[in-house]
């Protein structure tokens, strides 16, 4: 009997809830927020340094060789999902503040989450090897392509991604990743032996980025601007986004005639979105008083994808349908 996974069992959920609650109760404002932003940027640098150390170069090479699986996956994640995000942003724009609606487009441009995508693929008896490599490749690509895709699709609504922003992305995200890749021959085994401890680096960094982002939004009146009906609307649009994405992804894998195990790996890698990339990147792309509004859909989508993934994976594991 495969082990059940519950979204309540994921420590990341607790970290996100604590970070958002703390931002509402004791936000970092004024000089404290500037200090918190510096700490957050330093933590993001460390996170991507560790990511570079632990994603084996051999996995990247094997993934690139299997282009029949990964090319359609790349097109779906960075082509189809952003277009769905545009539609959801238009829908949300009817009832929600513009920055929150824009968050659905930002959500659509993000890569998939590595840990939960591979965990649920394993639970569903999918192709775990493809899931691991696929999610890793998408995360690497996301560092380079998410910001340009978002800027292209958002047009005038996007923040200006000028030279300063590009330099910040290079210094805080890309440079540490490349350093990690360069030194991983000396570090990868050490990291594998401390996998559970290293996982907490991810959680702490993400929690810090979320706290700083929501602190800015709280200072700008997030609590006053958002009534209960507004939160319900964000949840509803996030749920529609997830349902549409799941249907489109499963239909595409049928058209590609992929084996069942590969379809499952494609589904979880294609539809799940990464708060591990989304929150830190938002902290770099958007001003502190904007980022909290933009990542609100991402946080709720992340919770919903975990709620849906556990029973869905269990269903796949028990089903014999192709």
**Predicted pLDDT of residue 51:** 73
CB atoms within 10 A of CB 256: 14
The answer for residues whose C-beta is within 8 angstroms of residue 243's C-beta and 6 or more apart is: none
**Predicted pLDDT of residue 20:** 82
73 in a structural domain:
yes
204 in a structural domain:
yes
3 in a structural domain:
no
Do 63 and 136 form a contact (C-beta atoms < 8 A)?
A: yes
Give this prediction's pTM. 0.79
Instruction: Give the domain range for residue 99.
Output: 23-314
pLDDT in tens, 180-221: 888 888 887 887 777 777 777 777 877 887 788 778 777 766
177 in a structural domain:
yes
pLDDT in tens, 93-139: 998 888 889 999 999 999 887 666 777 787 788 887 777 777 777 87
71 in a structural domain:
yes
Distance between CA atoms of residues 117 and 131, nearest Å: 7
Report the percentage of the chain scoring pLDDT > 90: 19
Token pair listed for 128: 């775990």
How many domains are there within the chain? 1
Report the percentage of the chain scoring pLDDT > 70: 86
Helices (H), the chain: 11-25, 31-54, 57-65, 67-75, 81-92, 98-108, 114-123, 128-154, 163-169, 175-193, 195-219, 222-225, 228-255, 260-271, 275-285, 288-318
142 in a structural domain:
yes
Whether residue 83 has pLDDT greater than 90: yes
Whether residue 6 has pLDDT greater than 70: no
Q: What is the CATH number of the domain that holds 178?
A: 1.20.1530.20
149 in a structural domain:
yes
The mean pLDDT value for 268-288 works out to 83
The mean pLDDT value for 51-58 works out to 73
The mean pLDDT value for 58-75 works out to 78
pLDDT in tens, 7-49: 455 676 777 788 888 888 888 877 787 788 788 888 878 877 8
147 in a structural domain:
yes
Whether residue 304 has pLDDT greater than 90: no
Do 171 and 291 form a contact (C-beta atoms < 8 A)?
A: no
């Amino acid at each position: 009997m495969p082990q059940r996974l519950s979204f309540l069992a994921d420590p990341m959920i607790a970290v996100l809830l604590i970070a958002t609650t703390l931002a509402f109760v004791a936000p970092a404002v004024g000089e404290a927020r500037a200090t918190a932003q510096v700490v957050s940027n330093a933590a993001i640098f460390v996170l991507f340094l560790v990511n570079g150390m632990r994603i084996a170069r051999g996995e990247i090479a094997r993934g690139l060789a299997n282009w029949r699986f990964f090319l359609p996956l790349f097109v779906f994640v960075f082509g189809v999902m952003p277009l769905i995000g545009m539609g959801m942003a238009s829908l949300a724009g009817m009832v929600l503040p513009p920055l929150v609606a824009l968050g659905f487009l930002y959500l659509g441009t993000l890569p998939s989450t590595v840990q939960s995508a591979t965990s649920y693929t394993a639970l569903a008896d999918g192709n775990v090897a493809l899931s691991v490599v696929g999610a890793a490749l998408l995360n690497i690509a996301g560092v380079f392509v998410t910001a340009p895709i978002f800027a292209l699709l958002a047009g005038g609504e996007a923040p200006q991604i000028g030279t300063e922003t590009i330099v910040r992305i290079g210094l805080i995200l890309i440079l540490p990743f490349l350093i990690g890749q360069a030194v991983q021959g000396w570090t990868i085994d050490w990291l594998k032996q401390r996998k559970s401890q290293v996982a907490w680096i991810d959680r702490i960094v993400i929690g810090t980025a979320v706290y700083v982002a929501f602190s800015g939004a709280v200072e700008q009146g997030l609590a006053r601007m958002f009534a209960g009906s507004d939160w319900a609307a964000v949840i509803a649009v996030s749920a529609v986004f997830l349902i549409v994405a799941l249907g489109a992804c499963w239909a595409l894998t049928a058209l590609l005639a992929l084996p069942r195990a590969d379809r499952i790996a494609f589904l979880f890698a294609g539809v799940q979105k990464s708060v591990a990339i989304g929150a830190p990147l938002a902290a770099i792309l958007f001003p502190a008083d904007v980022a909290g509004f933009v990542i609100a859909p991402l946080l709720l989508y992340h919770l919903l994808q975990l709620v849906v993934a556990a029973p869905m994976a269990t269903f796949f594991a028990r089903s014999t349908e192709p």
